Amino acid sequence: MNVSRRSLLAGTGVLALAGGLPRTAVAAAPWRKEGVEPPPRSRFVRKDVAGLFDADTGAWAPELYWYAKAVGWMKERPRTEPNSWEFQWYTHGRPRREEGDPPEWGQCPHRNEYFLPWHRWYLYHFERIVRDVIVTELGQEDMADWALPYWNYAHLAPDGDPAASEEWRRIPLPFRQDRIRDPRSGEEEDNPLYLPVSMDGRCLGEDPMAFDQVDPSAAMREESFWPPRNGGTERAGFSQVLERFPHGLVHSNISGLMGSVPTAAGDPVFWLHHANIDRFWEAWLNGHQVPDDRVWPQARPKHDPEEPDLPFLLRDVNGEPHVLEGPLFDFPEDAYEYESLTDGMGTGEARSAFLLAEAPPSTPATTFTVTDDVTHLRTEPLTFSLGGEVGVADTIAGAMESAERVVLTFEGVRADAAPCAAFLVFLGGDESDTDPAGPAFVGHLVFFENVGGHGAHLDGTEFSFDVTETLRRLPQQAWSRDQAPVVRVVPGPLAGAKATAEADPRFARAAFTVV
């Protein structure tokens, strides 16, 4: 990555960027409306972390150095203190629940419409707590405008070639260095942002993630925030698609702490990942609306049936409780800005298959089982053929010539541990075609939401893809239409034999449905 356009203080080790960083930013706000003045610009600018360090010299900007110092300070605090690292981590998810846990712990919502607005408030309070630690506890009054950086992993070079932007898809260097150097004294110390490459730290070391694993294009093309409440086989909508692609994919590729909901917020890079997810939402809101009839529930969704009824509840910078109530999308308009709402927003060329809100109703006449055996995924590609099931080829081929739709559903998607990878789904018998930019690609299977015994859905999650256009575009050599289409599941490029064997990623069933 070339950041020579930024002035760097000379020296080796961990030093600071000089002043004069770009301030081109767009204000954050819940949504945009025609004829309404944009909200006031905020003094708090969330910057791309790629501009806050130099991959060649190892130099850091002050924003990163003091983030690391604040994290270290928070890690020394008792977990019962709202400004401690563990209190903030456990608010998202608690690895092991215990009697007497504070009501704030373990409340992160997934697979519902609260996912994005809850994380927006969660980051807002965390950011203010970190800023207060830097200014008040660490005495850095010149950092009074500190804001949380974002990890712009979907950045593309001007020519659009993903190979030229691999550095952006690596875990940022400051999170991979085990030592930092005080820019004032020159003394070295342990880096609080660092985690070792292990199942208890991060699976992902220096390798870059593949671009298809971070590309938000599938979500950015969605027109509605959430599918209609009247049900039916509808598109999943922006929030649900973004939650899985790339949100869940990034979690799964990094794994370690990041690989499951209860442990994810224990990784300091979590907060930069979610700042980028919030940035995707903010960019999408520039051209779309959110529903105006949604409100926060009086009782948040439960992760365990034995939990008491509790509201969504966060602690603010003063340690005071903040109950999330009233209109779901109300949010302070001048809370922060993003350095860019255009860089790293995807290619705009999303795949032809798309995620559905739920699987269509299953009937014997229109549902064709691909496999109903529990399928364990490893590092070798798997191919599934329906064989000679009567009528399947004619029914699916007939849908290509009508208004009917073909849906491919995977049920019971789960893993015993974070698998350190995602898996790609393709259609057609051309086993050489494993290009996620090619016509055979359907989508990814993501395991982040259901890892171990604390998954929100103990029977596993479900992925339903409308593959009608994918089938129409398959070349003759991949699908001749006189046989049922072949389904292939291919491990992502980061999949390793040991990690996948220990995690045992799997699904319980796969089937085509014609609707």
Options 3.40.720, 2.60.120, 3.40.50, 3.30.160; CATH for 354-514 is 2.60.120
d(CA 515, CA 509): 19
Joined together, the tokens standing for residue 84 give 């401690």
pLDDT of residue 21: 27
pLDDT-based confidence at residue 412 (cuts at 50, 70, 90)? very high
pLDDT of residue 459: 82
For the chain, give every residue range classified as CATH 2.60.120.
Answer: 354-514
d(CA 11, CA 58): 9
Q: Starting at the edge strand that comes first in sequence, how are the strands of the sheet with 487-491 ordered?
A: 382-384, 487-491, 423-427, 441-445
pLDDT of residue 31: 36
pLDDT of residue 53: 94
Residue 424 CB burial class (10 angstroms; 0-12, 13-18, ≥19): buried
CB-based contact 393:488 (threshold 8 Å): no
Options 1.10.1280, 1.10.3470, 2.60.120, 1.20.120; CATH for 26-176+195-338 is 1.10.1280
Joined together, the tokens standing for residue 111 give 């697979």
Task: Give the global pTM.
Answer: 0.92
Cis peptide, bond prior to residue 246, ω within 30 of zero: yes
Q: How far apart are the first and last CA of the chain?
A: 48
pLDDT digits (tens, 9 = 90+) for 187-198: 899 999 999 999
pLDDT digits (tens, 9 = 90+) for 200-245: 999 999 999 999 999 999 999 999 999 987 666 799 999 999 999 9
d(CA 135, CA 259): 32
Residue 2 clears pLDDT 50, i.e. is over it: no
For the chain, give every residue range classified as CATH 1.10.1280.
Answer: 26-176+195-338
What b/e sequence results for 349-368 when a residue is b if at least 16 CB atoms lie within 10 Å of its CB, and e otherwise? ebbbbbbbbebbeeeeebbb
CA within 13 Å, CB half, 324: 30
pLDDT of residue 123: 98
pLDDT of residue 11: 29
Q: Starting at the edge strand that comes first in sequence, how are the strands of the sheet with 406-413 ordered?
A: 354-355, 461-466, 406-413, 509-514, 367-371
pLDDT of residue 116: 98
pLDDT digits (tens, 9 = 90+) for 368-395: 999 999 999 999 999 999 866 668 899 9
Residue 79 clears pLDDT 80, i.e. is over it: yes
d(CA 449, CA 244): 9
* Mean pLDDT of the 54-76 span: 94
pLDDT of residue 225: 97
Q: Which amino acid, one-letter code, is at 149?
A: P
Measuring CA to CA, which residue among 349, 114, 92 is closest to residue 240?
114
CB-based contact 496:378 (threshold 8 Å): no
* Mean pLDDT of the 343-348 span: 92
Joined together, the tokens standing for residue 42 give 């905020």
pLDDT-based confidence at residue 183 (cuts at 50, 70, 90)? confident
pLDDT digits (tens, 9 = 90+) for 16-36: 332 322 222 333 333 344 554
CB-based contact 226:113 (threshold 8 Å): yes
d(CA 168, CA 138): 30
DSSP strand pairing (45-46 vs 337-338)? parallel
Measuring CA to CA, which residue among 255, 235, 257, 281 is closest to residue 422?
255
pLDDT of residue 40: 59
d(CA 278, CA 122): 11
Cis peptide, bond prior to residue 183, ω within 30 of zero: no
pLDDT of residue 227: 93
pLDDT of residue 55: 85
pLDDT of residue 305: 84
pLDDT digits (tens, 9 = 90+) for 270-309: 999 999 999 999 999 999 999 999 999 999 999 888 889 9
- Phi-psi category of residue 81: left, alpha or beta, with phi > 0 → left and psi -120 to 50 → alpha: beta
pLDDT of residue 20: 28
CB-based contact 430:478 (threshold 8 Å): yes
pLDDT digits (tens, 9 = 90+) for 92-142: 999 888 889 999 999 999 999 999 999 999 999 999 999 999 999 999 999
Residue 68's φ and ψ, nearest 5 degrees, are -60, -45
- What average pLDDT is seen over the chain? 89
* Mean pLDDT of the 251-261 span: 96
Cα four-point dihedral sign 342, 344, 349, 352: negative
Measuring CA to CA, which residue among 349, 239, 345, 335 is closest to residue 294?
239
3-state secondary structure of 116: helix
In percent, how much of the chain has pLDDT > 90? 78
pLDDT digits (tens, 9 = 90+) for 446-469: 999 899 875 555 689 999 999 999
